[in-house]
Structure 1
Amino acid sequence: MDRAAFANAFDRSHDVFDDQGRGARLKPSTRDSIRYGYRRWLGWLSSRHPALLAAPPETRASPEMIRAFVAHLRETCSPRTVASQIGRLHDGLRFMFPARGWTWFKAIKTRLERAVPAAGRKPIEITSQRLIDASLARMDAVDLALATTVPGVSRKHLQALALRYRDALLVAIATFSPLRRTNLSQLELGTTFRREPSGWVIRIPGDLVKNGEPAEADLEDWLNIHVDRYLAVYRPLIFASQHHQGLWASARGRPATGDALYNAFQAEAKASLGLHLTLHDTRRIGVTTWAVHDPVNAAGARDLLGDRSDRILAQHYNLASGIQASRNMAKVIGSLKGCK
């Protein structure tokens, strides 16, 4: 019953104007997320209330059962994860059974979302240039290591060097053009990442991007040089890279996944700068950098964050002012030291 109802709700073969199958318009990642949430609900039912599995799927979810499911999730999950899990289940049910009233479920979902503690994330006190400079230095170090490698070294050693270069290039490109992990993993040679007369460009269509808008960027000459070197020298050293078009080849013989790139970015940022950074931080760092170098037009940086809030933008602008003030103070201190 559940399998058929899910397929009926998310099957792409349905007409887009029909209530049935309207979940087919969602992005694949969203449909997968809902599928995971619904599967977890079924797993809980099978272990705690197996008799309910014989009932029609739309009748199993009552306020009492959802509260019990929430209590179960709270035993091992954070408030944010609980709210996310319940949100997935709510979406699954409303797409599968749109004619049934789910107002009560939406109210529970909303209360759980409002109960999630604020993350309290603050702007990061570095600029994009520092992150890029560190990645360029790391690539230069790999070049030096390759140049001094003795003949007959193992392929495993060469692949390790290639992956180091790949990760440093990943940081540079992700900082230059902040992309989500999924979109980074979708960069393929000849399509979403291709060579044009002006250099390498990123062209990701809107249907693959979270906000529905195309993600595009034209890499600059200093970055094109490193992309060319990666493709000519290092990518061929990575196992089975000739068998796929993924920009970010992995040692598993296939393109690196979004999660793998996320982890590689974190590890590389830690190794190069000693900082704990995530891919999303490149957006926040980019806003601060924009405010430092172009404060008049800094409001345009909202698009980097994906947050239209003036309050959030002001936090980054104020930090940018602080960074500039610190630089000015450093110059003053330097001149005073020179007078002694």
Structure 2
Amino acid sequence: MTVIPRHAVPLNDWPAADQVMWQYVIAEGDIFEGQGPGANWAPATIDNTRKAYGYWLHWLGINCLLSAPVHHPLDRITPERIRAYIEDMQDNTAPLTRFVYILDLLRFAQVGAPDREWDWFKRIKNRLWARAIPSRDKASLIRNSRELFELGLDLMNEVSGVTCRYNPLQAEIYYRDGLLIAILASRPVRLKNLTAIQIGRHLIRIDNIYWLVFEAGEVKNRRHIEVPIPEILSSYIDDYLSHHRPRLLQGTLSNRLWTSRFGGNLSCNSVRRQVKLHTEEAFGKPITPHLFRDCAATSIAIHDPEHVWITTNILGHNTLATSQKYYDQSRMLEAGRHYQFTIADLHRTLREEARSPYKSA
């Protein structure tokens, strides 16, 4: 078995035929030549697919399978080689990672050679998904979105008592993080969009309401987003823009909403770190920005199951099938809570009976 390192062959180092195939797939085209089958992929999908194929080429190379002549680059993809490829990944990748690599490779194969029979590859992908057990129990991390929203409000409302001898801007950081968490809890956009919010472009005020607006090309699934931020946050946003954010900027110029204490723009990693930090302090377990989306969908499914369909709009899902899984998850959580309440009631009953001097026959 060959243990493969996580290394993707750069596009410029791909064999010439593979580069031509890639350019065909993602070609934007025009009214005369037409576009490639992957032209409408989101930027993240293009990047992930390119990397996945680069990983595949690297594996072929270290196994001396890349230099053999082929009629078509995808002739190299066979059931036997895919089996060996997956086996070689087992020692240094998680089950979910292996699934993602194969999913992205299959996506490229299907558009690169659409006339071929890829059902065998799909079956392998499906089996990998069935075995891709998450390393953490996500259900145990789910919180009601109201709790997350209130956490954000608490952080902002309590900044007057926040001091740090080593960081004079600690109060501003707490206010920024509180606003970020409150917006994320009420409008759980994806981390990339949340981090990239620009004032006047993505954050727009109309009368007394702030709106989040993202063009289709800026969103993972290419769906335009235009949603109002709860009016209760309008005064908090005003305060952040007029007082806390200027102090964080320290004289630098930027139209990005989220600013670091050094005057620069927060990165996705920084936003993720701050959200996890505050949620762990509040709830005992860190909650990632992406989990806010699960929390929102599950909260809706628990408290308003008849309108679970609205999650397709709140989260930008293309179909209700994606939202349905949160409804199923909410049923599991509710069952667990009902069981806990039942056990608690039984425990109280037994305790009261034990204290009573009279026992029923």
**Same fold? TM cut 0.5:** yes
Cα shift at 1:157: 2.7
For the residues of structure 1 that align with 2:41 and 2:55, how far apart are their CA atoms?
Answer: 20
Partner of 1:72: 88
Identical-pair percentage: 23
- Segment of structure 1 superposing worse, 306-315 or 215-224: 306-315
Structure 2 residue 198 is matched with structure 1 residue 188:
yes
- Segment of structure 1 superposing worse, 45-54 or 107-116: 45-54
Q: Which runs of 5+ in 2 are unaligned?
A: 1-15, 316-321, 346-361
Give the one of 176, 181, 185 matched to 2:186: 176
Partner of 1:275: 285
Structure 2 residue 26 is matched with structure 1 residue 10:
yes
Residue deviations 1:110-157 (CA, integer Å, cap 9, x gap): 2222332377643657433332222222223334437xx8xxx9xx83
Q: Normalization by structure 1: what TM-score?
A: 0.78
Partner of 2:110: 94
What's the secondary structure of 1:216's corresponding residue? strand
- Counterpart of 1:23, as a letter, is G
Partner of 2:308: 299
Structure 2 residue 146 is matched with structure 1 residue 137:
no
Partner of 1:311: 328
What's the secondary structure of 1:25's corresponding residue? coil
Q: Normalization by structure 2: what TM-score?
A: 0.74
Cα RMSD, aligned residues only: 3.5
Given that 2:139 and 2:329 are in contact with CA atoms closer than 8 Å, whether structure 1 keeps it comes out as no
For the residues of structure 1 that align with 2:129 and 2:186, how far apart are their CA atoms?
Answer: 33
For the residues of structure 2 that align with 1:59 and 1:256, how far apart are their CA atoms?
Answer: 44
Given that 1:138 and 1:165 are in contact with CA atoms closer than 8 Å, whether structure 2 keeps it comes out as yes
For the residues of structure 2 that align with 1:276 and 1:215, how far apart are their CA atoms?
Answer: 27
Structure 2 residue 54 is matched with structure 1 residue 45:
no
User: Cα–Cα, structure 1 residues 281 and 105, in superposed 2: closer, same or farther, change >3 Å?
Assistant: closer
Given that 2:172 and 2:248 are in contact with CA atoms closer than 8 Å, whether structure 1 keeps it comes out as yes
What's the secondary structure of 2:139's corresponding residue? coil
For the residues of structure 1 that align with 2:140 and 2:224, how far apart are their CA atoms?
Answer: 26
What's the secondary structure of 1:172's corresponding residue? helix
For the residues of structure 2 that align with 1:165 and 1:129, how far apart are their CA atoms?
Answer: 18
User: Cα–Cα, structure 1 residues 82 and 296, in superposed 2: closer, same or farther, change >3 Å?
Assistant: closer
User: Cα–Cα, structure 1 residues 127 and 99, in superposed 2: closer, same or farther, change >3 Å?
Assistant: closer
Partner of 1:82: 98
User: Cα–Cα, structure 1 residues 53 and 134, in superposed 2: closer, same or farther, change >3 Å?
Assistant: farther
Equivalences, count: 318
Cα shift at 1:172: 0.9
Given that 1:302 and 1:308 are in contact with CA atoms closer than 8 Å, whether structure 2 keeps it comes out as no
For the residues of structure 2 that align with 1:135 and 1:15, how far apart are their CA atoms?
Answer: 49
Residue deviations 1:176-229 (CA, integer Å, cap 9, x gap): 112221221232211221111122111223443345443333223431122112
Give the one of 109, 115, 118 matched to 2:131: 115
Partner of 1:29: 44
Given that 1:288 and 1:319 are in contact with CA atoms closer than 8 Å, whether structure 2 keeps it comes out as no
Given that 1:15 and 1:21 are in contact with CA atoms closer than 8 Å, whether structure 2 keeps it comes out as no
For the residues of structure 2 that align with 1:125 and 1:8, how far apart are their CA atoms?
Answer: 43
Residue deviations 1:285-312 (CA, integer Å, cap 9, x gap): 33454467x5474534543574224533
**Higher helix fraction: Structure 1 or Structure 2?**
1
Residue deviations 1:14-45 (CA, integer Å, cap 9, x gap): 56995x61101111111111111111112222
Given that 1:171 and 1:269 are in contact with CA atoms closer than 8 Å, whether structure 2 keeps it comes out as no
For the residues of structure 2 that align with 1:276 and 1:70, how far apart are their CA atoms?
Answer: 31
User: Cα–Cα, structure 1 residues 34 and 259, in superposed 2: closer, same or farther, change >3 Å?
Assistant: farther
